[in-house]
Amino acid sequence: AYRHMNLTLESGIYGSTFFMLTGFHGLHVTIGAIMLTVMLVRAIKGHFTPEHHFAFEAAAWYWHFVDVVWLGLFIFVYWL
């Protein structure tokens, strides 16, 4: 679909920036999904207690960070 609109890596600074931003965001989403999978495995094994759950909380904060960045990217790329 992007090629049909002439949006490629070679289409200038906008195309390069678009693919760089969405690529980095995709990388962060992949990292977040891996972190959540690891947290699920650890939770199933009983590694977390009400007093000891920092890794779980850190993964949740990371995922919220990725959400906020996605909102910023959406506004920056599609609305501006």
Digit-coded pLDDT (tens) for 41-57: 999 999 999 999 999 99
- When pLDDT is averaged across residues 5-20 and rounded to a whole number, the result is 84
Q: Is 39 helix (H, G, I), strand (E, B) or coil?
A: helix
The two three-digit tokens of residue 57, written as one number: 């909380």
Digit-coded pLDDT (tens) for 16-44: 888 888 898 899 999 999 999 999 999 99
Cα–Cα distance, 1 to 14 (Å, whole number): 16
Q: Are 69 and 31 in contact (CB under 8 A)?
A: no
Number of CB atoms found within 10 A of residue 56's CB: 18
49: left (phi over 0), alpha (psi -120 to 50) or beta: beta
